[in-house]
Structure 1
Amino acid sequence: MCEIMLKNIKICFLIFIITILSFISGYIVGVSQPMYSENPIIQYFKNPKPFSVENVNIPITYYGTIKGKYIGYQITPHNVNEEARKCFYKYFKLKDKDPEEAEKYLRRGLFLTEYLISQSEKETVNLNGKNIIFIIWRYNFDFPEYNLSKGWAGSLCQAGCMKTLYLAYKCTGDKRYLILAKEALNAFIVPVEKGGLLKIRVKDNKTYYWYPEYASKNPPYVLNGFITSVIWIGEFANETNDKEAYLLYKEGLKSIKSFLSEYDAGDWSYYDALKHRCNEHYEHLQRLQMLYLYNITKDKIFLKHYNKWKE
């Protein structure tokens, strides 16, 4: 009887030891779950363990001191989405020539995209009796240049993140990215006063849509960021046939044409509606934007300003 009891105790102890070892092994190795259940591409991501540290590079922007306030180093969604897009473009360029190298760029682009998703805020607002779900990226530091407090958002960053999500969808076929890109677009139909990125400007008793690069109650109405946002919204409309995107694009073009004269400084251009003259970098950029808009619209008002503004 004692021998049977002793044997049972040994068996229970052995089971206990195996269970403990399995738990420890599972904790060390981590549990891998495919992110793209219906996607044939290689599964790059694992469900991370809490408090894990990833050995990766994320773009960091140094702002230094602005108007007496030290901003220092910041991880900004704008520069992260820019880096992600560069990776996706490299992937498209190399996927047939050098699949192995292309895969590295795809992996990095998707990692940065996932980081952006983790930093977005999902919000719901009621507009005309309809609930609008949108995601938005906000900056976690003050920006004294335009008296913006922590939590501000902007159209250039938003449109860049939207474009990044769409490129991730094109690379992978994962519709989750496409859904999120649409939710990013929705921020442009939500007024700034309700947490979105739509501002109504008035000129000659007419109203116009404006998507401010630096969103606030009284934004500076920076020109180049608005133009880029409108262009990227138009690209999204063409790629997806999204009616809302088409409307936002057309309204944006209408605003650019209507307010363009207010950014005309003769043979130079203004950076914002506060009449800050562009430095050489932004003068060159805005001139190229005029040429690009002329090429896609054939509207001579853009060609006129391209020829008028100097390098």
Structure 2
Amino acid sequence: MYPFTNGNIEKFDDLKYDENKIPLLKYKDSLIYYPVQYTQVALHYYAKYFYTKEEKDKNIFLKQANAIKNKLVVKNGFGVWQCGVEIHPYKADPPFASSMAQGFGLGVMLQAYVLTKDKSYLEAADLALNSFEVLIADGGIKSLWDTYPHYEEYADPKSHVLNGYIFSLAGLYYHYQLTGNEKALKLYNEGIEALTVKIKDYDAGFTSFYSFVTGTGQYPYDSANGSNPDHYHELIVRQIIMLYLWTGDKVFYEYGYKFYQQHLSQINKDIPKKIKSIEASHTIVPKTHGVENLMNNNWTFGNFWSTNKFPTELVLDFGVQRKDITKLVLYGCVNEQSLPGKFEIYVFNNNKWELANTDEDILRTHHTKFKTRHHKTYVVEYDLFGRYEGSKLKIKLLSSKGKKGIALRNINVFFNIRNEYNALIDVIRSSAKDSFN
């Protein structure tokens, strides 16, 4: 079974389908065939059959696979599934090919071949595989990023979408695992080597970058997308852990950990949240703008917590003793004026509060401005002077930078969370046991 898929096809119930059970994407005022979507949906239908072994599920998948095979556009010895619309803000002239769709499509073709032994599916997979060698300018999906190959989700050579790139690597690895194809292994290894070098560029300090397109005036952040803002960042953590499990490369282990520290909520329901609870000595509107807003995964819009009384104390309970407390991240509403001016940070250790830092002790900060059409967030990362240990952290807010008080969308604290991270690796290792079947 292709990695990152499951048999939960119910989540696609609201989609419109054609007579071949190929989903149609609502794009502006039209319904279009979007390769990333229809190949991904087919993979989930295969997963449904993998678990149920019911003929109806198999027949639906094979109907989809046959239609997808027929949509492959072949030219100059390679094949691509083409997107016929322009996707803002990427500078990709339609029709264009997507590495993410190519990776998914490889999986669909190979799964259909396994079920039917029809060599036309294997031939289609090999044609799609060849697109990984072809530059975007020539109709393929490859770009060169500082001489390193990058398989682009969008045909914009400078976009470098991370999750789509990893999905395409999964397709290559899947091809090799099922067929032993040496070209697939070579392209996969080249992609892995490139990512071990470039993954550092995706670290935004408080979250990960989704891509490097700046047409909106700023970099897109993984944690700023959609109704579930941390969805893509959570996906990246899972994907990088999977790469670590496939390769054993410590680069992926460490960056998976770094991004896991940046995560604001829960990635797995059986692993406790980083912050068990937060209490505030004063809140302006507790009913709608209480401290619970500081504990969700939404740092980009929506309700926030605020105070206009000083001093106000925020007490963050970790639930257990934490070591190596090194960083505090505050997500202010609108601009820097919504953040604290003077403050003190305490840790609760050995049954007593100990002063760790004042704002004057913190020598290094990093400021990030984020905005959408309707909302703004001002993120400041405070690197604490020293390493601390404790079961709680208290922020004593003594003043605000502006005149209207303090308004925060979220809070994050960095500390040693290796045990939870290793537990997540075990969960992902277990859930991936059916991959490549």
Deviation at 1:55, TM superposition (A): 4.5
Q: Counterpart in 2 of 1:82?
A: 40
| Distance in 2 (alpha carbons) for counterparts of 1:160 and 1:199 | 19
Deviation at 1:215, TM superposition (A): 1.3
1:135 aligns with one of 62, 79, 88: 79
> Counterparts in 2 of 1:57-68, with a 5 A limit?
57-63=21-27
| Structure 1 length-normalised TM | 0.71
> Counterparts in 2 of 1:26-105, with a 5 A limit?
55=19, 57-63=21-27, 70=28, 72-95=30-53, 102-105=54-57
Q: Counterpart in 1 of 2:239?
A: 289
| Distance in 1 (alpha carbons) for counterparts of 2:21 and 2:109 | 19
Distance 1:55 1:267, change over 3 A: closer
The share of aligned pairs that are identical, in percent, is 29
Distance 1:57 1:239, change over 3 A: closer
Q: Which structure exhibits the higher relative contact order, with contacts defined as CA atoms closer than 8 Å and separated by 6 or more residues?
A: 2
Deviation at 1:108, TM superposition (A): 0.9
Q: CA RMSD of the aligned region, Å?
A: 1.7
CA contact (8 A) 1:155 1:225 kept: yes
Q: Counterpart in 2 of 1:227?
A: 166
| 1:118 and 2:66 are equivalent in the alignment | no
Q: Counterpart in 2 of 1:243?
A: 182
> Counterparts in 2 of 1:149-298, with a 5 A limit?
149-202=93-146, 207-216=147-156, 218-274=157-213, 275-279=219-223, 280-298=230-248
CA contact (8 A) 2:104 2:167 kept: no
| Distance in 2 (alpha carbons) for counterparts of 1:249 and 1:88 | 23
CA contact (8 A) 2:21 2:60 kept: no
| Distance in 2 (alpha carbons) for counterparts of 1:169 and 1:121 | 19
Question: Which amino acid in the other structure matches residue 37 of structure 2?
Answer: N
CA contact (8 A) 2:43 2:108 kept: yes
Deviation at 1:285, TM superposition (A): 0.5
| Structure 2 length-normalised TM | 0.51
Distance 1:289 1:174, change over 3 A: same
| Distance in 2 (alpha carbons) for counterparts of 1:152 and 1:179 | 21
Which of the two has higher C-alpha Rg? Answer: 1
Deviations, residues 148-176 of structure 1 (Å, cap 9, x unaligned): 33202110011111110000011111111
| Distance in 2 (alpha carbons) for counterparts of 1:71 and 1:188 | 32
Q: Counterpart in 2 of 1:50?
A: none
Deviations, residues 110-160 of structure 1 (Å, cap 9, x unaligned): 111121122221101xxxxxxxx1111111222122133320211001111
Q: How many residues align?
A: 233
| 1:300 and 2:240 are equivalent in the alignment | no
| Distance in 2 (alpha carbons) for counterparts of 1:191 and 1:71 | 32
| 1:107 and 2:59 are equivalent in the alignment | yes
| Distance in 1 (alpha carbons) for counterparts of 2:46 and 2:104 | 13
3-state DSSP of counterpart to 1:147: coil
Question: Which amino acid in the other structure matches residue 233 of structure 1?
Answer: L
Structure 2: stretches of 5+ with no match in the other structure: 1-17, 214-218, 224-229, 264-437
Q: Counterpart in 2 of 1:66?
A: none
CA contact (8 A) 1:71 1:142 kept: no
| Distance in 2 (alpha carbons) for counterparts of 1:56 and 1:295 | 36
Structure 1: stretches of 5+ with no match in the other structure: 1-53, 64-69, 96-101, 125-132
| Distance in 2 (alpha carbons) for counterparts of 1:192 and 1:149 | 10
| Distance in 2 (alpha carbons) for counterparts of 1:137 and 1:289 | 23
Q: Which has the higher helix share?
A: 1
